[in-house]
Structure 1
Amino acid sequence: MFNPTDFPKPTLISVNGVELEVFEAGRENAGKPIVLCHGWPEHAYSWRHQMDALAAAGYHVIVPNQRGYGNSSRPTEVTDYDIEHLSGDLIALLDHYGYEDATFVGHDWGAFVVWGLTLLHPNRVNKVVNLSLPYQERGEKPWIEFMEEILGGDFYFVHFNRQPGVADAVFEDNTYRFLRNLYRKNEPLRAPEPGMALINLARAETPLGEPVMSESELAVYVSAFETSGFTGSINWYRNLDRNWRLLAQANPIIQQPTLMIYGDRDMVAKSENLTKFVPNVEVVNLDCGHWIQEEKPQETNQTILRWLEQKDAT
């Protein structure tokens, strides 16, 4: 088990009009940056198992709490969390360290940001590693509108947009319970319940399956969200249709060498046409659920390091 006290101490760095709480490993490897981008409702701490392994392999590992998370800034305007702002933070972080480009790694929402960053600023990204969330094709309709038609108003993406503040308050009233019930693996299949699934989860007395992390690890997340609340992080969802519009002019093809890691038991759907948009992709499936780098830390590290070694050798 990972000891939370082993995690590096953060630095607050001013970038792009906000302050980001940034954790680092391998500073002695200046010149070979790799930036790890967490998802929702996560924290830089979700990469605790990867940082030392990547530093040992010669990388300068840069792990921000993105805006809305941890002790990073939490702007009040919803539009301050769109893909231009989120990718702009990462570009400004590269500028801060004096890097032309970097390898970017994303999980869940972090993967969405890395995909968007690569479309908007292709010359700043040399390689892409994404976990769980594949490239999202920009269809005819804005994403939330499309989801509402297909999945209904209780689907959490739609609910966050159509009923702002409702879920945020429930999660804040049940922070420990929500995060404890969410960070599970090997959960039994169950029939969908009526209502909004994540609100139900936040109120459920008993968690299902097995915990992904120890109580002391979970406490890091709970403490962070008790401080920050959930609204800043949920505001990422409230920009999906805006992001759909902001990405309209971008070339939709990602040319960078890309590694896509799926969890075979993840609820997030795999892409059926990934190579259409990401022609230089290698796909790896691991036997786990959604929290890939925490459920299978060794396998995740081996997969990423093997792939990076191959790409660096060519």
Structure 2
Amino acid sequence: MFDPTGFPEPTLIPVNGVELEVFEAGQHNAGKPIVLCHGWPELAYSWRHQIPALVAAGYHVIAPNQRGYGNSSRPTEVTAYDIEHLSGDLVALLDHYGYEDATFVGHDWGSMVVWGLTLLHPHRVNKVISLSLPYFERGEKPWIEFMEELLGGDYYFVHFNRQPGVADAVLDANASRFLRNIYRKNEPPKEPQPGMAMIELARAETPLGEPLMSDRELAVYVSAFESTGFTGSINWYRNLDRNWHLLAGVDPIVQQPALMIYGDRDVVARSANMAEFVPNVEVTSVDCGHWIQQERPEETNRLILEWLG
């Protein structure tokens, strides 16, 4: 298991009207930047197994806690977490280091931000690597509206939007249990349950499957979220329909070379038509659940480094 004391020390960097807590390594590899964008409810720490491997391969690794997370700024306005702000933070991060462009790696929500960044600021992205979350096609209806019709009001994306503050309060009150219960691997398949999945997870006495990480590793997440609460991070979800509108006039095709890594047992659905929107994509998968780079670190590193090479 990983030793938390071996993780890079953070720096607070002012960007785009906020401060981001940034963990960087391999400064001696200046000129080959790779930016790692975490998902929900994660931190830059979720890339702990990738950072040393990427540095050894000659990359300058930049891993921010994105806005709403850790010691990065947590603006109170919900709209401060839309795709323009989130991608603007990453553009400003490149400006801070003096880079015209970089390779961007995203997992889960981090992938959503990287896809959006690539559409809004295509000249700042040279390659895209996405774990778990494929390119999200901008359909006829705003995304939350679409999900509500398809999956109902208890689906957590919809619930976060339609019942603001309700889930936040439950997760805040049960941060340690929620994180223990969500960070699992080898979970047995289960039938869909009634209720809102994240709230049920925060209240469940007994987690399924096996722990994803050691107690020391888990403590890094628990201490961060006990300090910040979950609202800033959940506000990312509360901008999905806003993002749908903001991306209306943007060319939806990602021209950059892209690597898509799925987890074979991930609950996130695969894209049926990704190559229409990302013509230069290579698709692969790993035998694991949702937390790909933490559950299968060596395999993830090998796939990423072979593809980059």
Same fold, TM exceeding 0.5?
A: yes
Q: Secondary structure at the match of 1:11?
A: strand
Residue identity (%) = 81
Q: CA deviation at 1:193?
A: 1.9
Residue type matched to 2:166 in 1? V
| TM alignment of 1:79-158, pairs within 5 A | 79-158=79-158
1:192: Cα distance to partner? 2.0
Distance 1:44 1:227 in 2: 16
Specify the code of the residue in structure 2 equivalent to 1:55: V
Q: Does 1:295 align with 2:305?
A: no
Mapped pair 1:40 → 2:40: yes
Alignment partners' CA distance in 1, 2:91 and 2:197 = 35
Q: Which residue of 2 aligns with 1:77?
A: 77
Superposed counterparts of 1:156-305, under 5 Å: 156-305=156-305
RMSD: 0.4
- What letter corresponds to residue 199 of structure 1 in structure 2? I
Local SS of the residue matching 2:48: helix
Q: Give the superposition deviation at 1:112.
A: 0.2
The within-5 A match list for 1:25-64 is 25-64=25-64
Letter of the 2:39 counterpart: G
The Cα offsets for residues 117-136 of structure 1, whole Å up to 9 and x where unpaired, read as: 00000000000000000000
| Structure 2 counterpart of 1:206, one-letter code | T
Tell me the CA shift for residue 9 of structure 1.
0.5
Give the number of equivalent residue pairs: 309
Q: CA deviation at 1:292?
A: 0.1
CA distance in 2, matches of 1:267, 1:189: 10
Determine the C-alpha separation between the residues in 2 that align with 1:272 and 1:218: 34
CA distance in 2: counterparts of 1:194 and 1:146, whole angstroms: 20
SS in 2 for 1:191: coil
1:172 and 1:278 map into 2 onto residues whose CA distance is 38
Segments of 5+ residues of structure 1 without an aligned counterpart are 310-314
| SS at 1:20 equivalent | strand
| Distance across 1 between alignment mates of 2:25 and 2:53 | 9
Q: Quick one: distance in 2 between partners of 1:271 and 1:190? A: 22
1:137 is aligned with what amino acid?
E
Cα distance between partner residues in 1 of 2:31 and 2:40 = 29
